Amino acid sequence: MASTRVVETVHDNGRSKEVVLPANLARVRNWLVEQIIARLDPAITWQRTPETTQQVFQHFQRLYQQAGLTLSEEMRKRLFEAVVDEVLGYGPIEPFLQDPTVSEVMVNGPHLVYVERDGKLEETGVQFDDDEHVIRIAQRIVKPLGRPLDRAHPRVDARLPDGSRVNIIIPPAALPGPVITIRKFPANPLTVDDLLRFGTLTPQLVEFLRACVVARLNIVVSGGTGSGKTTLLNVLSSFIPDDERIVTIEDAAELQLHQRHVVGLETVPPLPDGSGQVTIRDLVINSLRMRPDRIIVGECRGGEALDMLQAMNTGHDGSLTTVHANTPRDAIARLETLSLMAGFDLPVVVIRRQIASAVDLIVQQARLRDGSRKVIQVTEVQGMEGNTVVLQDIFIYRQPPFGGEGKLEPTGIRPNFMPRLEEAGFKLSAEIFGGLSFRR
């Protein structure tokens, strides 16, 4: 018999497990969902609470009896869970969104769903009924946001009520069928202690980075997709003193700062008629009028990079941002390219001098083959030599020649900005940089 898969949560280990619901019961599920939604107040269909779940259960019980269904207790429970996931959640992928071990959910058409756990991708075996089923769930995501999703508007970037980022793209732009990608928003963001425990940072590097943030160095976190840039940016932001005014600028709000004086700004997509859009660049320019002590841009991905560099060069020290790049040298090239997107006819060498003058430190993050995320390079931007930006590694991740676990080690070179750290009250020992500390 043909079948479709739904999932239920296994509570003993916190992970989700697939179960099989026969195709005829999938049709019953769709009928039950349609009937229950028609009977519920539309305002509560996004609120999965004990009260709303109880309401769905009462309707389910009545409709189940009316339909004359006689299922085993186990199959009836699975049917109810599938109905609740459809009515109050996101259908077959709802258990993964509730699973704390899952960091990302990827729907590649109706019959292929992947999740990411511990930095590694897993094929789940969970399936939607068809393209229409996936689009129905996608529409549930975008409807409360007032965002169109149709042939004329086949792509949507949005944020779920819990803060998770979601990207949806549908045919004809998506070849395998409707594609949904959800990066989950952690209920409890990772802290510096977590990154130390995971081996992302070392105690020596934490001491050094804390001093750099407090001393108001301009820092760029560089890395590839999914390398943990935003998490590291959040941790670096936690080092900012409580008595400073912080303005955060993001495409989709992910930063979770605990300081009291934080003003969060978020981009606004255009309305269907093209009006009303607020870009990252608009927000960076606006933030300069808000008397910020610190400007934190979640990610530079366009012409706002030039505005950010100008802000760094005109008294807004201590700014933080991230870029997509695989090495510190690539991060410099990336900033050049993004600055050119601002639309000003500036020579590359002028932009390069802006970068060399504005950026003090590049922290390179990577996701390694085993799925772990680590800082693999910390590089000082020392200035210009001719037309070249001079870089100097302060820490670098070294891999043993015959395999085994690598280690982030100091290069033995003290950065040129050490006097700035000392002026801020930090007397870092020579041992942090790989030297010897002599005591009398």
Residue 439 counted as domain residue: no
pLDDT-derived band at 43, boundaries 50, 70, 90: low
User: Exposed, middle or buried by CB within 10 Å (0-12, 13-18, 19+), for 140?
Assistant: middle
Are 227 and 329 part of one and the same domain?
A: yes
pLDDT-derived band at 361, boundaries 50, 70, 90: very high
Mean pLDDT for 183-205 is 90
Strands 373-385 and 388-398: antiparallel
Are 201 and 301 part of one and the same domain?
A: yes
Residue 234 counted as domain residue: yes
CATH number at residue 85: 3.30.450.380
Q: Which of 120, 154, 183 delimits the end of a domain? A: 183
Instruction: State the Cα–Cα distance between residues 119 and 102, nearest whole angstrom.
Output: 9
Tokens representing 412 are: 């033995």
Residue 133 counted as domain residue: yes
Per-residue pLDDT reduced to its tens digit, 199-250: 999 999 999 999 999 999 999 999 998 899 999 999 999 999 999 999 999 9
Predicted pLDDT of residue 402:
67
Q: Which of 183, 211, 226 delimits the end of a domain? A: 183
How much of the chain exceeds pLDDT 90, in percent? 55
Mean pLDDT for 164-181 is 94
Strands 219-223 and 320-324: parallel
Predicted pLDDT of residue 340:
93
Please compute, for residue 387, the number of CA atoms within 13 A of its CA located in the half-sphere on the CB side.
6
Are 173 and 217 part of one and the same domain?
A: no
Look at the block and give the residue holding tokens 């080690």.
409
Instruction: State the Cα–Cα distance between residues 223 and 374, nearest whole angstrom.
Output: 10
Q: Is the pLDDT of residue 140 over 80?
A: yes
Predicted pLDDT of residue 34:
86
Strands 388-398 and 16-22: unpaired
Residue 257 counted as domain residue: yes
Are 177 and 199 part of one and the same domain?
A: no
Average pLDDT, the chain: 87
CATH number at residue 348: 3.40.50.300
Instruction: State the Cα–Cα distance between residues 53 and 318, nearest whole angstrom.
Output: 48
Q: Which of 129, 155, 183 delimits the end of a domain? A: 183
pTM given for the model: 0.81
Q: Is the pLDDT of residue 346 over 50?
A: yes
Per-residue pLDDT reduced to its tens digit, 303-340: 999 999 998 988 889 999 999 999 999 999 999 999 99
Are 360 and 422 part of one and the same domain?
A: yes
- Residues spanned by the domain of 11: 3-183
Q: Is the pLDDT of residue 440 over 70?
A: no
Residue 438 counted as domain residue: no
Are 135 and 217 part of one and the same domain?
A: no
The structural domain count of the chain equals 2
Residue 282 counted as domain residue: yes
Residue 332 counted as domain residue: yes
Strands 113-117 and 294-297: unpaired
Are 162 and 217 part of one and the same domain?
A: no
C-alpha closest to that of 95 among 73, 123, 115:
115
- 3-17, 229-243, 334-348: range with lowest mean pLDDT: 3-17
Mean pLDDT for 153-165 is 86
Predicted pLDDT of residue 435:
65
Predicted pLDDT of residue 29:
87
Cβ atoms of 254 and 165 within 8 Å: the answer is yes
Are 141 and 198 part of one and the same domain?
A: no
Are 179 and 201 part of one and the same domain?
A: no
Are 232 and 165 part of one and the same domain?
A: no
Instruction: State the Cα–Cα distance between residues 259 and 39, nearest whole angstrom.
Output: 44
Cβ atoms of 206 and 428 within 8 Å: the answer is no
Residue 419 counted as domain residue: yes
pLDDT-derived band at 68, boundaries 50, 70, 90: confident
Mean pLDDT for 279-287 is 92
Are 211 and 332 part of one and the same domain?
A: yes
Per the model's pLDDT, the better-predicted residue between 157 and 374 turns out to be 374
Q: Which strand ranges, in their side-by-side order, compose the sheet holding 120-123? A: 120-123, 113-117, 102-108, 179-183, 165-169, 155-159
Buried/exposed 96-115: b ≥16 CB within 10 Å, e otherwise: bbbbeebbbbbbbbbbbbbb
Q: Which strand ranges, in their side-by-side order, compose the sheet holding 373-385? A: 262-266, 246-250, 294-297, 320-324, 219-223, 361-367, 373-385, 388-398, 407-410
Are 241 and 356 part of one and the same domain?
A: yes
Instruction: State the Cα–Cα distance between residues 125 and 146, nearest whole angstrom.
Output: 32
Mean pLDDT for 264-286 is 87
